[in-house]
Structure 1
Amino acid sequence: MHFEDVIKGRRSIRRYRDKDIPRSLVGEILDLAKHTPSSGNLQNWKVIVVKDSEMRQQLAQASMEQYWMVEAPIHLVICNDYDKVKDHYPVLGKMYSIQNCAAFAYNITLSAHTFGLGSCWIGAFDNEKVQRLLSIPDNIDPEIIITLGYSEDSKSPQLRDEVKYITYQEKWGAKFKVPKSELEQIESGIKKEVSKFKKKLKTIKKRK
């Protein structure tokens, strides 16, 4: 699978087939994701793999009662070991630690897609309840839950804003002009020539 296909093909999946995921495959997905960059290469992420159906039910309830989550045979709970970061970055360490976990979580979703699995990023949940359910220590924060499974959803990827609408050049507000592709340049050239021809045609008609 080409990298472009991975990026464009990944989407949030909320319907899953009733099919088990081998533990070895979960390990391969995490083994790819572990190469995520992090502040100071501190790698402050930890992962809890949840397969138990009753626990998945409770996690879904703690996630604003999003019970579709239970269909996913695996929940990955991404946790933040902030202690690994705060001594190196005493002022902005908390923010960096969350950014690191977010980057790691995103790479998990990409990695899962390369192995033919669907996933969904869950950020809305009761942190304290999840902490209690999974016996997570007080100094460790659950940041993200990722559902994992074989997709039963055939929806198309969501439309994204064009680069020109989200990018500035050198400073805020200055337009970033994206060079046209070769095909776009040809199309633009044809349109200009057609426009010129129409103008000439009008001029000729007026003379008559």
Structure 2
Amino acid sequence: MNVKEAIKNRRSIRAFKSTPIDQQTLDTILEAGRLAPSWANTQTWRFIIVQDDNIKNQLADNACAPESRNNQVLKQAPVVIATCSELNKAGFRDGKPSTDKEGYWFMFDAALALENMVLEAQELGIGTLYIGAFDAKGAARVLDVPEGYACVLLLPIGYSDEQPEARPRKDISEIVFKNKFGLR
């Protein structure tokens, strides 16, 4: 599979088979994240690999409402990759924000790393689900994330037990402008 195919075929997977992911496959996915670009090469991401069912259950119950779909997905997935980022490093020079984005670079960088991992997982036949809407402080407590770091994204991964259809995408003419916003 090439990159374009991985991009076109990736879907949000919410049902996983119980088949474990072998360490070599997991390492290949993590290596893709490690190679992602980051602000001034700060590489602020840290990945916590959660495979213990008890910890996955605690993570789900402390990060997501019990009735949410994400709660069940976190419990069911064979692996959850919790992505954390070091604060006040990406987007800063000499301890001061370098841009008007005020320290949000750590989130951009984490998303770049996760996108690399998601595309690598897709190529390897592994399904994924981005979870960004969760109680980050609750997740951090369960995962013993130290002060100075934030839990940014959760990525349940596993062999897909569903084949979701592609969702509609906007036409390129709706999202691309020339020279100025709104000009076509």
Provide TM-score, normalisation by structure 2: 0.89
Q: What secondary structure is seen at the aligned counterpart in 1 of 2:89?
A: helix
Q: 1:64 touches 1:124 (CA, 8 Å); kept in 2?
A: no
Q: Residue 33 of structure 1: CA displacement?
A: 2.2
Shift of 1:98: 1.4
Q: Which residue of 2 aligns with 1:193?
A: none
Deviation of the 1:5 alpha carbon:
0.7
Structure 2 letter corresponding to 1:41: N
Give matches, 1:4-153, under 5 Å.
4-61=4-61, 62-65=63-66, 66-85=71-90, 87-88=92-93, 90-91=96-97, 92=99, 94-153=103-162
Contact 2:128–2:158 (Cα < 8 Å) also in 1:
yes
- TM-score, normalisation: structure 1: 0.80
Deviates more, 1:80-89 or 1:36-45: 80-89
SS in structure 1 at match of 2:129: strand
Q: Which amino acid aligns with 1:105?
A: L
Give the 3-state SS of the residue equivalent to 1:141 in structure 2: strand
Aligned-pair CA distance for 1:63:
2.0
Q: What root-mean-square deviation, in Å, do the aligned CA atoms of Structure 1 and Structure 2 show? A: 1.5
| Shift of residue 97, structure 1, vs aligned partner | 1.5
Moved over 4 A (4+): none
**Aligned runs of 1:161-172 on 2, under 5 Å?**
161-172=170-181
Contact 2:39–2:91 (Cα < 8 Å) also in 1: no
Q: Percent identity?
A: 27
Q: Distance in 2 between matches of 1:59 and 1:67?
A: 11
SS at match of 1:78: strand
Q: Which has the higher helix share?
A: 1
By relative contact order (CA 8 Å, sep 6+), the higher-ranking structure is 2
On the 8 A contact 1:81/1:141 being kept in 2, the answer is yes
Q: Any unmatched runs of 5+ in structure 2?
A: none
In structure 1, distance between residues paired with 2:43 and 2:3: 24
Structure 1 alignment gaps of length 5 or more: 176-208
